[in-house]
């Protein structure tokens, strides 16, 4: 039989700059007074209290620049090339912080595979090679970049990690999810776009996946793609950065997709058989739609809501922040994880806690 794969450790990291209230005020300043009141009322319902950015905010949210360095000047926000330079400078620092928090020690030299997910920036030689040098990884490590898949990329990375372990039980996979979402702030007076931006934060998660039987057993995976809903969520490269579009119809579309695929997701088990729920907190309304679709108890998504409250949506890193909480659960519990992104895609998995 093929070997089983386990998440042995997860560590998370965020930058030092807490920016949520600053960016709410900055975004509001781009709106007329009547739209500002609507924005503030809707932002208060988001379930987010703090978000973090690699870029220090300016001193005055109504001043000429959004950031202390003066890069995001009103009327002259940076282009995509400048933003990719910012990513190349800041992402390796935050990624190393996440990997260092795993406390690999001498085990770093034993890592055989490195998988990196990101959808917020690219450069080459890339962050995979930077991590190899910064974290003491072997020059012969096998590296894979999973790019531009969005919020569900972490589950795809876990799926790939499981395939690696099943084919080579001696493999030791380091998975890094690094996202700098706040770098893609857009200057706009469109209410929907400003509300969308006020979900996003920067963050990194690092995980060790091996055949050693402790932590979280990766049991099974299932993917749903609602192709007729692909227009509801997009992530596009523009001249002035990457632009996220999130339709207000996304929560209802997710609910419909989950209801139609519940048996496949849960392996024909009843919802009541699932002890733990690790749902990517793409936003409060997304979590509400999952809770309604699966008829979950209000407490079922408490860990996801807490991650959203403390960090916002950090794209592919966010799911692993929730999984870090799952590692603290008692042994022998069955869990279901899911994350959503462009496609419209729902990546799901079943897992078990193992002491």
Mean pLDDT by 10 residues, the chain (355 residues): 95 98 96 92 95 98 97 97 98 98 95 98 97 96 97 98 98 98 94 90 98 98 95 93 90 94 96 98 96 96 98 98 98 98 96 96
* Same domain for 339 and 261: yes
Q: What pLDDT does 355 receive?
A: 86
Domain count for the chain, please give it. Answer: 2
Q: What pLDDT does 245 receive?
A: 86
Asked about 119 being catalytic, the answer comes back as no
Q: What pLDDT does 1 receive?
A: 80
**Is the residue at 1 inside a domain?**
no
Strands 215-225 and 6-13 turn out to be: antiparallel
**Is the residue at 251 inside a domain?**
yes
* Same domain for 199 and 81: yes
The answer to whether the CB of 87 falls within 8 A of the CB of 123 is yes
Of 151, 181, 198, 204, which is the active-site residue?
151
| Domain endpoint, select from 210, 237, 269 | 210
Q: What pLDDT does 171 receive?
A: 98
* Same domain for 345 and 258: yes
The rounded distance, in Å, linking the Cα atoms of 142 and 112 is 6
Q: What pLDDT does 181 receive?
A: 97
Domain span at residue 301? Answer: 215-354
Tokens of 35: 């739209």
Q: What pLDDT does 313 receive?
A: 97
| Domain endpoint, select from 182, 210, 238 | 210
Helix, coil or strand: residue 190 = coil
Q: What pLDDT does 218 receive?
A: 98
The answer to whether the CB of 152 falls within 8 A of the CB of 346 is yes
Q: What pLDDT does 246 receive?
A: 84
* Same domain for 157 and 21: yes
**Is the residue at 240 inside a domain?**
yes
Q: Please choose, from the candidates 154, 167, 208, 187, the residue with its C-alpha nearest in 3D space to the C-alpha of residue 339.
A: 154
Strands 113-118 and 142-147 turn out to be: parallel
């Amino acid at each position: 039989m093929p070997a089983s794969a386990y998440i042995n450790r997860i560590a998370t990291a965020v930058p030092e700059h807490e920016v949520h209230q600053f960016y709410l005020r900055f975004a509001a300043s781009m709106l007329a007074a009547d739209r500002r009141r609507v924005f503030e009322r809707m932002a208060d319902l988001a379930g987010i209290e703090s978000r973090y950015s690699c870029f220090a905010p300016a001193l005055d949210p109504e001043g000429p620049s959004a950031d202390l360095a003066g890069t995001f000047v009103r009327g002259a926000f940076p282009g995509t090339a400048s933003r990719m330079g910012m990513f190349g400078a800041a992402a390796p620092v935050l990624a190393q912080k996440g990997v260092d928090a795993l406390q690999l020690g001498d085990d770093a030299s034993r890592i055989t595979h490195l998988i990196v997910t990101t959808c917020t920036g690219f450069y080459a030689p890339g962050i995979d090679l930077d991590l190899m040098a910064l974290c003491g990884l072997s020059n012969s490590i096998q590296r894979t970049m999973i790019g531009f898949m969005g919020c569900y990329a972490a589950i795809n990375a876990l799926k790939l990690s499981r395939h690696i372990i099943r084919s080579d039980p001696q493999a030791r996979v380091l998975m890094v999810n690094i996202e700098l979402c706040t770098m893609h702030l857009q200057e706009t007076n469109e209410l929907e776009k400003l509300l969308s931006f006020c979900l996003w934060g920067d963050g990194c998660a690092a995980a060790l996946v091996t055949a050693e039987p402790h932590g979280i057993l990766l049991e099974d995976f299932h993917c749903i793609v609602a192709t007729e809903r692909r227009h509801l969520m997009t992530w596009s490269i523009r001249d002035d950065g990457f632009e996220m579009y999130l339709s207000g119809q996304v929560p209802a579309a997710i609910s419909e997709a989950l209801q139609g695929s519940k048996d496949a997701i849960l392996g024909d088990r009843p919802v009541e058989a699932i002890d733990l729920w690790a749902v990517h907190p793409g936003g409060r309304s997304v979590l509400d739609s999952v809770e309604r679709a699966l008829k979950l108890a209000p407490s079922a998504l408490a860990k996801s809501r807490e991650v959203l409250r403390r960090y916002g949506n950090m794209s592919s890193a966010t799911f692993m922040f929730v999984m870090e909480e799952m590692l603290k659960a008692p042994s022998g519990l069955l869990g279901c994880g899911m994350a959503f992104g462009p496609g419209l895609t729902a990546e799901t998995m079943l897992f078990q806690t193992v002491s």
